[in-house]
Amino acid sequence: MLDAFLGPLQETYFQKALIGGSIVAVVAGVVGCLVVLRRMAFLGDALSHAMIAGVAGGYLVMKMFFGLEAHAPGMLLGSLLAAIATVALISFVSRVSRIKEDTTIGIMYTGIFALGVVAVSIFRHYIHIDLMHFIMGDILGVADSDLWVSAFTAAIVLTVIILFFRHFQIATFDPVMAASIGLPVLLLDYLLTVCVSLVVVSAVSMVGVILVVGLLITPAATAYLLSDRLDRMMVLAGIFGITSVVGGLYLCVWLDSAGGGAVMLFCTLQFLVVLAIAPKYGLLARWLRLKRLVPQQVVEDVLTTILRHGQTTPLPVIRNYVESAQGDLRKALRRMVQDGLIVEEGAGYQLSEDGRKEADKVLRAHRLWEAYLERIGTPKDELHTTAHQLEHIGGTADYLDERLGGTDKDPHGRTIPEPR
């Protein structure tokens, strides 16, 4: 069993894949947090597909003018220029036309991707690029030059993120406030786009289009389920990126499958596990919250029933006036005791000070509705029933009070409680 884990680590190709994949995963996860929070996931996909035009252009220039074939820096520069051109075109078209940004992204990235494919086919005697390798990647065939390029790019991008972390944080969560305090929001947007472009172009040749987009989005989304703080989210995203690469590579070796596909499969399975068990935003936590949820109408009916009773109210009295299943009513009473709205006394319940305030609000809304309904001609025998249904609509009491001119009596002559 131990050999299954230690055996691959002795292979050079596995070590290079592990190092290269981890470098890409960390920087992609960190940048991906900003991409996810800014809802730029589709832009990352667009940039990765547009790389083919830049790779083809860089390859062609280096081959025809310098006689160099598959020159990594040349293709990196071409890819970066293609990414910048893609972003510029997307920004220009969405700004000068009625076409929305998401539609513009779809148009431009497919067009530039098609341009790259056509360029590769036309200049096939000069450009020797395997399009399937470009899309799927070959993480198990990482070259030394790929490692150096990815490490250099990761150092630049992480340095930018660290230096401008506060600026990115403010511009991401509140761009209006960022602009009001003098931050160059547009420049920060372009700087983030350049960082995303650098991550994508440095990783595509090593891991392929599909894997680089997956590592940019999925670990960050996984971290988003576990953290409400950007710095912690970035750390978690980097960790999830590394575990995706490690787990995927072992899965690839054990199953004898494609490396990039195995990494992305493990990354997705990791996301689904966290989605299920995340303590705050997971499916299990959501199910437990829904199970414990008490309808607000039941709570308000209990409060007004105890208020009208005027003394310690037994459970049978509450059940007689509150329409709810017996189990739901008991759950509501337990929750209200925990929240400090009511106090259990002997065989009944009394309102606490906070509970009395809430009960007065509901009673005020009920009597204002009765007064308003009478004014618009509702039959007298329907006033109470209709008002009972409408009293639970929040934020209506002050409006009704204003429409009624500040009346202090309901149609039955009872005093309408003052706002508290």
- For the segment 12-39, what is each residue's pLDDT rounded down to a tens digit? 778 888 888 889 899 999 998 998 888 7
- DSSP one-letter code for 322: S
Using alpha carbons only, give the angle 275, 136, 251 rounded to the nearest 5 degrees.
Answer: 55
The four Cα atoms 141, 143, 144, 146 give a dihedral, to 10 degrees, of: -110
- Structural contact between residues 200 and 216, judged by C-beta atoms closer than 8 angstroms: yes
pLDDT band at 237 (very low <50, low <70, confident <90, very high): very high
Highest mean pLDDT among 106-115, 237-246, 343-352: 237-246
Residue 418 has what pLDDT?
78
Is the pLDDT confidence value at 158 over 60?
Answer: yes
Q: Which residues contact 231 (CB under 8 A, 6 or more apart)?
A: 165
User: Which string of DSSP letters, residue by residue, matches 382-410?
Assistant: GHHHHHHHHTTSTT-HHHHHHHTTS--B-
Task: Provide mean pLDDT across the span 134-138.
Answer: 64
The pLDDT tens digits of the residues spanning 43-74 come to 666 766 676 677 677 666 666 666 665 555 66
CATH number of 296-351: 1.10.10
Q: Which residues contact 69 (CB under 8 A, 6 or more apart)?
A: 59, 62, 63, 128
Separation of alpha carbons 401 and 393, rounded Å: 14
Is the pLDDT confidence value at 416 over 90?
Answer: no
pLDDT mean across residues, the chain: 80
The pLDDT tens digits of the residues spanning 203-233 come to 776 676 677 778 888 999 999 999 989 999 9
Highest mean pLDDT among 87-96, 145-154, 220-229, 383-392: 220-229
Q: Judge residue 85's burial from the number of C-beta atoms within 10 Å of its C-beta, 0-12 exposed, 13-18 middle, 19 or more buried.
A: middle
The pLDDT tens digits of the residues spanning 268-320 come to 999 999 999 999 899 998 888 877 777 778 878 888 888 888 788 888 888 88
Separation of alpha carbons 273 and 262, rounded Å: 16
User: Chain-centre distance of CA 362, in angstroms?
Assistant: 37
Is the pLDDT confidence value at 162 over 90?
Answer: yes
Q: Where are the domains of the chain?
A: 7-287, 296-351
Highest mean pLDDT among 220-234, 339-353, 380-394: 220-234
Residue 420 has what pLDDT?
67
pLDDT band at 128 (very low <50, low <70, confident <90, very high): low
Rg of the chain, C-alpha, whole Å: 31
Residue 325 has what pLDDT?
65
Is the pLDDT confidence value at 243 over 90?
Answer: yes
Is the pLDDT confidence value at 109 over 80?
Answer: no
Separation of alpha carbons 342 and 321, rounded Å: 17
Task: Provide mean pLDDT across the span 188-200.
Answer: 81
Fold of 7-287: ABC transporter involved in vitamin B12 uptake, BtuC (1.10.3470)
Separation of alpha carbons 253 and 5, rounded Å: 10
- Structural contact between residues 266 and 319, judged by C-beta atoms closer than 8 angstroms: no
User: Chain-centre distance of CA 398, in angstroms?
Assistant: 37
